[in-house]
Amino acid sequence: MNFFIVDDDEVIRSMIAEIIEDYDLGKVVGETEDGSHINNKLLAFKHVDILIIDLLMPIKDGIQTIQGLGDSFNFKIIMLSQVEDKKIIGEAYSLGVEYYITKPINRLEVIKVIEKVTANMKLQKSINDIQQTLSVLGFQESKTHMEKPSLKKTILESAEFILTDLGMISESGSKDILDMVEYLLQCDKESYQEQEFPSLKDLFTNTSVNRLGSSYTEADIKKEVKASEQRVRRAIFQGLSHIASLGLTDYSNPKFEEYASKFFDFTEIRKKMLELQNEINNSISHIRINTKKFVKVLYMEAKKKV
């Protein structure tokens, strides 16, 4: 990934460039102290994949800069800011900003946000490539005749894309959730009624058995199931927290509108929004996690996207 950094603070630019290079996140192809120094032609020439830009700058701020780029850019934008004004942040999201990194800069936050955006880009590219290939082969109108391996791959990638949108793909429990989606695919059913959908016990047990391989004991299964349950709960909690933060910033955020009530109990979303608003850091135990609902919705949504 090629990065371009725009910030009037040379120390901030240096810190972010160092993090990108030290953690092998990509390559910094350019940097400048103000938005007035960049345009689409320059960014295209530099083959920029991700633009990291400060919100407040003396001559041309981040909002003005992004507006000046229009809607034709094909790179992702991460905004740096210590501003908490919901209107300004909402405007940035509407212009195409993917994520915020809050100031003062935190190394772990920078790494996590960049990894999320990068994963999102890779998944989107993979899905676009598959759709383009299917279109060329004339399969766009006859998806039911696709071979199962291709369908399986596409549904899993769609599920990954959704988990990335939910801000939880970097959580270890997301891998467990994707294993459940794969297990549901193996069940080879067109649709599920509530009474026919596998129980949580079946989901955790079967995916744990597949993960352990050919040699395991009953104690091994119980241990892995318990660990998997904890990982999945933490991952879903991260997704809920991410969506709640989007809603708190901008209630009309497209991701919030699409995912909030679909994947989570809205009362729990509201509870988390209030906690964030009041800067209360309660643990996961204060939030009710409906794992079965989440997995079922994810599976059905991933199927609809192919």
Q: What is the pLDDT of residue 95?
A: 78
Q: What is the pLDDT of residue 8?
A: 92
Q: Judge if 237 and 283 occupy the same domain.
A: yes
Q: Which amino acid is at 193?
A: Q
Residues 60, 15: one domain? yes
Residue 188 predicted with pLDDT over 90: no
Total domain count, the chain: 2
For 86, the domain range is: 2-111
| Residue 228 resides in a domain | yes
pLDDT at 84: 64
pLDDT at 97 over 70: yes
Q: How far apart are the first and last CA of the chain?
A: 27
Per-residue pLDDT averaged across 174-186, rounded?
Answer: 91
Pick the last residue of a domain from 111, 137, 172: 111
**Among residues of the chain, what percentage have pLDDT more than 70?**
88
Which residues have C-beta within 8 Å of that of residue 183, sequence separation ≥ 6?
198, 203, 206, 207, 210
The per-residue pLDDT of the chain, averaged, comes to 84
Q: Report the CATH number that the domain containing residue 28 is assigned in CATH.
A: 3.40.50.2300
pTM of the model: 0.54
Q: Which of 111, 126, 156 is the last residue in one of the domains?
A: 111
Q: Is the pLDDT of residue 24 over 70?
A: yes
**Element (H or E) spanning 206, and its range?**
helix 200-212
